[in-house]
Amino acid sequence: MVLGLLWYLFLYPADYLVRMQAKTFPATIAQTLKLWDSTLPNANITEKEGMLNFTQELQFGDSVHQYQWEIIPVHDSLSKIHVYAKDRKNSLINKLMVPFAETGFEKRTEQTLTDFLSSLNEHIESFRVKIIGETEFPGKYCACTQLSTTQFGKADGMMKDYPLLSTVLVNKGLELDGPPIIELKKWDRENDRIVYNFCFPIMQQASLPFIKEIRYLEIPPRKALMAEYNGNYITSDRAWYALLDYAEKNKLGVTGLPLEVFYNNPTLGGDALRWKAEIYMPLIDAP
């Protein structure tokens, strides 16, 4: 008992442990956590261990609370969340008090994490991902711009270049051949940054006009895993992670560089859950 008490008081990494669960896959929780952290006035994710473990510090007055987040997959549509909370200045007092009384630290932690869980559940209700399975991306000849942004900034980049691609191409006499496409060229998952081509498919013709900001290229057909995504295109990357999970569970090799085909124009508004995108994760050919 003495050894157990000493371990709890001086070695156990938390003053208070909060257990939660969410009806979604782990990457949705991780990405929502990062965005939620960026909206808080005195919060910062100080460490990352892999894709599903984070250390976060939040300042409340003169107290600094440390949360160690552990996101645990259960199955395709359920994840557990463990948060090990600690007040760096008052850890020993909290450990002595928490088993016997509801402390201010405990109340603050519960309220903060309740706020996060509300934000997470609201986000989960704002999109849908449906895995279709193995198929083939048909390939297209395109006019494209290339952008480098954060994952969250992807949609802003699309909106910036949409007039250039949609209006200028038509004014130059090019015939469009389908909805716009994003082709990822690089994906830094550690830092949530991407480099991508934003493309409008066009009909090939003998002579193509020179447009300074635009490159013409062919996106070839390729075998791929496919998902249907409904929701705001800002967070269509949720389908990327769902496809990666599906590939891992089914032992399928994939490039990790998805393609997206968008069937709605967000500038026209409407219910985002009615917006549709097809997400393709190219398969790596077997040797």
**For position 252, what pLDDT does the model report?**
95
Angle between helix axes 237-249 and 26-39 (nearest 10 degrees) is 150
Stretch (H or E) spanning 246: helix 237-249
pLDDT at 194 over 50: yes
pLDDT in tens, 45-95: 988 888 899 999 988 877 888 899 999 999 878 999 999 988 866 554 555
287/281 Cα distance (integer angstroms)? 19
pTM strictly above 0.75: yes
pLDDT at 7 over 60: no
Q: Provide the 10 A C-beta neighbour count for residue 86.
A: 22
Q: Provide the 10 A C-beta neighbour count for residue 217.
A: 15
Tokens of 12: 């156990």
**For position 229, what pLDDT does the model report?**
97
Residue 186: beta bridge partners?
195
**For position 12, what pLDDT does the model report?**
46
**For position 287, what pLDDT does the model report?**
40
- Is the C-alpha dihedral spanning 227, 233, 235, 237 positive or negative? positive
Stretch (H or E) spanning 91: helix 91-97
Who's near 176: CB < 8 A, 6+ residues apart? 166, 169, 170, 200, 201, 202, 203
Strand-strand pairing, 16-22 and 276-282: unpaired
**For position 162, what pLDDT does the model report?**
86
Comparing C-alpha atoms, which of 217, 209, 204, 200 is closest to residue 164? Answer: 200
**For position 171, what pLDDT does the model report?**
85
pLDDT at 184 over 60: yes
pLDDT in tens, 134-181: 999 999 999 999 999 999 999 899 988 888 888 888 888 888 999 999
47/68 Cα distance (integer angstroms)? 9
CB contact at 8 A, 68 and 83: yes
Residue 54: beta bridge partners?
48, 69
Share of the chain above pLDDT 90, in %: 62
Question: Tokens 């599906």, residue?
Answer: 246
Domains of the chain: 2-125 (3.30.530.20), 130-282 (3.20.80.10)
Instruction: Pick the most confident of 14-18, 153-157, 184-188, 200-204.
Output: 184-188
* pLDDT: which is higher, 28 or 207: 28
Stretch (H or E) spanning 131: strand 127-137
pLDDT at 202 over 90: yes
Question: Tokens 């005195």, residue?
Answer: 42
Share of the chain above pLDDT 70, in %: 88
Looking at beta carbons, which pairs linking 284-287 to residues 24 or more positions away fall under 8 Å?
Answer: 284/253, 284/254, 284/255, 285/223, 286/253
Average per-residue pLDDT in the chain?
A: 87
287/274 Cα distance (integer angstroms)? 40
